[in-house]
Structure 1
């Protein structure tokens, strides 16, 4: 008891006396409020209920709030030293410090100030933290708050996943995925601040496996059946001749009797592969686990010697790698927009000239917009003056469409150009399926990956190829 009396007399009384100043009181309120918010967050995180999986949570809960906590601690001694120096200069240092007495109005008002300020700060800091986390969970933050995400943000609104928050696909479930995302998100922020980030930004191995993201919404075993794909193309001749290709895709899956079929069915087994690049475009080795547990290895004829490297388990993302951020080739983008009416196929050579203008090299999107527009106008003004005079509105609209196509696919400041981000669905524009199904990956028994899965008809049938008026469309009442 005597020791406590000495502590109260020599330390606690002076501390509370000098600490009764605005600077120290604000510091105490900041420290207490930030500590309460942090403790609340840690409890939610520990219990695993209601916590956000946003990677930038680390900025708030690992940097900002601890920073406020430390700032408050620093302000307390600063205020104490400030008040002591003022009293000393005025010759008002007490020889005996006041008793700790709640009846003392000065002491009581100081305590009341701390309590009120702490409550107010708790509300402010807690609300701001909650709103900040809620905002950082939105696609707008991920795509627009960081200018380096401009390419991904440009492709996201027109994707089939436009209504899905970025964090749903980019953050794995569970505490390990959450912690990894926080660390990685904070590291990326520091890279942007330091202006030291890769250009272009490639997904590579950064995406979590499909079982922790995609399969939260999708059922890989679901029987999809067949899907009719109609692709419209335009020629580079004066009339922009239109043709159509009809492909019957056997998406397949697992039916109610457990039978596997189609594209999904052929890949539902346990398949592993080794790639020699981070984007998984070059795959020299494939291993398929058979029903009896044995593994058939397929090695590319281009491989020189034994293939070594990390084995990846094939999942949805290996084919659906651009599910929410798909970039078109200039041909596909232009054909798609022309089929919808702009550029108008009535403009001579608009397909050919449009491709020439979009494929040209520009230093910025602004330069591209200016030169594409000027180039198309100059072409029709000089080569087709009658078209220039009679179809000016269609030419202006065509220029706007070409600029729009370029602007959502090419970003010079991030070194994203045509073909930078390959899409592994199909095999017309990029290797895609042919990374493995090229007839060049052979097992020791001489069979190739393609021969094991029978033939191309397992995945699709070509009903018509570049025909002006496919009979099948007429039979279906589609013209």
Structure 2
């Protein structure tokens, strides 16, 4: 075979001869080790990856490791060129290149170096990749290392889902979800690196459907019946007068006989909608699939249907859109914290002054921390010196509580302020339920999506100072 013999003499022998140098041998070891790790990763991906589903795996295995592989090839080539140039300059190029054979001590020695270096590099690269992937699966990586997610990280740690890993909700199972997460995560990293990311970062339809995430832990068909909500509010008078409201929320669901009731039951059928904005806050068109299979379309009065929008099947996330990253309003957060004892409702005009400080504009959280704390202290020192003298600890504790309220809800650097992120549960602070239940969504036959309050809840007590019902229930 002359072609094979010519290739061996003119290419293979010179390659191994010139490649027998430390730089090329190291490059060969790096290339081989990274290739082995990549091959193992590809095999696991094809035959069912049972390990991490982290969205940033693409950065590691699709960008960094291939880069390391190419670096090894470059080192091989550079080493060959350096040695060839040196031998040509010193007139040491042999007339015949040595035979490529294990019998040749120099060739065998080079293979031994490559083999040992490859094993060492494989262990280092493999362990490094494993530890990197394990770290990228942690909440600290998603919420702290990725600094632009500071608002979401703060809200996450005070949510009911604080024990659930980010990837459990943001990465759908299966190959499609896995690939989507890798591509999206890599894109997000580049946006952060080049400092070209949206402020604020808004949730969108790229979040996996509830059937792929939420329903792994929650039973959508369980009948939850009614739920009593207790809300305490405070007035802006000198005594911060407290009032209480009681709401009976008809959560409902599906009972053992298959009967549907309440809010959950009313939305368990197939409901589709089209929105005109990425946050799904303006919904001009709704379609409901009836029990007999027919459909009814509801269109908001005077609304123009979006030409490019596609119908979206409604699921849990369309209402529970801030399940793990909920941001409060200034008054809502203040009332809740005062009900827990701090800020102290015993301080005169605390509620009024606190709202003023919380709603003021600050350049940064550091600026807010300083001005909110000093503002409240200055108010009592100047306006109520006796209160400052006798209740200094309460004033300082209240100031610290206000700083905490602000720092978990407002992030000037990311343009996140009060009301930036709408919460679709309820309708007091954002459209929420009224996106569809506003009384203006009507079908061709004149049927309207109900906006009857009693369908979802009954207001049992409204802003009473001391509701008798709470005493009757043994609650305060």
Distance in 2 between residues matched to 1:418 and 1:101, nearest whole Å: 74
- The equivalent of 2:19 in structure 1 is 19
Distance in 2 between residues matched to 1:65 and 1:165, nearest whole Å: 26
Cα contact 2:250–2:263 (8 A) shared by 1: yes
Count of paired positions = 475
Cα RMSD, aligned residues only: 1.4
- The equivalent of 1:343 in structure 2 is 343
* Residue 383 (structure 1) shift: 0.9
- Provide closer, same or farther for how the CA distance between residues 306 and 151 of structure 1 changes in structure 2, counting only shifts above 3 A: closer
Cα contact 1:45–1:51 (8 A) shared by 2: no
Distance in 2 between residues matched to 1:185 and 1:263, nearest whole Å: 35
Distance in 1 between residues matched to 2:37 and 2:222, nearest whole Å: 44
- The equivalent of 1:208 in structure 2 is 208
Distance in 2 between residues matched to 1:102 and 1:172, nearest whole Å: 51
Distance in 1 between residues matched to 2:453 and 2:327, nearest whole Å: 26
Unaligned runs of 5+ in 2: none
Q: Deviations over 1:267-314 (max 9, x none)?
A: 0001111111110111111111111111112111242x5564321111
**3-state secondary structure, aligned to 1:181:** helix
Q: How does 1:55-204 map to 2 (within 5 A)?
A: 55-204=55-204
**3-state secondary structure, aligned to 1:206:** coil
Distance in 1 between residues matched to 2:432 and 2:3, nearest whole Å: 78
Distance in 2 between residues matched to 1:3 and 1:328, nearest whole Å: 76
Distance in 1 between residues matched to 2:282 and 2:3, nearest whole Å: 75
Distance in 2 between residues matched to 1:341 and 1:291, nearest whole Å: 50
Q: Deviations over 1:195-225 (max 9, x none)?
A: 1111111112221221222122222111122
Q: Deviations over 1:171-199 (max 9, x none)?
A: 22221221121111111111111111111
Distance in 2 between residues matched to 1:307 and 1:255, nearest whole Å: 38
* Residue 2 (structure 1) shift: 4.3
Distance in 2 between residues matched to 1:446 and 1:6, nearest whole Å: 87
2:459 aligned to 451, 462, 469, which one?
462
Cα contact 2:276–2:306 (8 A) shared by 1: no
Cα contact 1:101–1:107 (8 A) shared by 2: yes
Query: Is structure 2 residue 386 aligned with structure 1 residue 386?
Result: yes
Cα contact 2:204–2:279 (8 A) shared by 1: yes
Cα contact 2:33–2:122 (8 A) shared by 1: yes
- The equivalent of 2:46 in structure 1 is 46
Distance in 2 between residues matched to 1:3 and 1:365, nearest whole Å: 73
Distance in 2 between residues matched to 1:71 and 1:99, nearest whole Å: 28
Q: Deviations over 1:108-140 (max 9, x none)?
A: 221111001111111111111111111111111
- The equivalent of 1:311 in structure 2 is 311
2:468 aligned to 443, 467, 471, which one?
471
Instruction: List structure 1 runs of 4+ shifted beyond 6 angstroms.
Output: none
Unaligned runs of 5+ in 1: none
Distance in 2 between residues matched to 1:352 and 1:470, nearest whole Å: 24
* Residue 423 (structure 1) shift: 0.4
- The equivalent of 1:255 in structure 2 is 255
Distance in 2 between residues matched to 1:286 and 1:427, nearest whole Å: 18
Distance in 2 between residues matched to 1:275 and 1:101, nearest whole Å: 71
Distance in 2 between residues matched to 1:295 and 1:88, nearest whole Å: 83
Distance in 2 between residues matched to 1:126 and 1:349, nearest whole Å: 62
Distance in 1 between residues matched to 2:365 and 2:306, nearest whole Å: 42
Distance in 1 between residues matched to 2:50 and 2:435, nearest whole Å: 42
* Residue 252 (structure 1) shift: 1.1
- The equivalent of 1:322 in structure 2 is 322
Distance in 2 between residues matched to 1:307 and 1:174, nearest whole Å: 32
- The equivalent of 1:413 in structure 2 is 413
Cα contact 2:284–2:305 (8 A) shared by 1: no
* Residue 362 (structure 1) shift: 0.8
Cα contact 1:151–1:408 (8 A) shared by 2: yes
Q: Which moved more, 1:96-105 or 1:310-319?
A: 96-105
Q: How does 1:292-311 map to 2 (within 5 A)?
A: 292-303=292-303, 305=304, 308=307, 309-311=309-311
Distance in 1 between residues matched to 2:251 and 2:16, nearest whole Å: 74
Distance in 1 between residues matched to 2:207 and 2:162, nearest whole Å: 18
Distance in 2 between residues matched to 1:147 and 1:358, nearest whole Å: 24
- Provide closer, same or farther for how the CA distance between residues 9 and 459 of structure 1 changes in structure 2, counting only shifts above 3 A: same
**3-state secondary structure, aligned to 2:168:** helix
Q: Which moved more, 1:381-390 or 1:456-465?
A: 456-465
- Provide closer, same or farther for how the CA distance between residues 118 and 306 of structure 1 changes in structure 2, counting only shifts above 3 A: closer
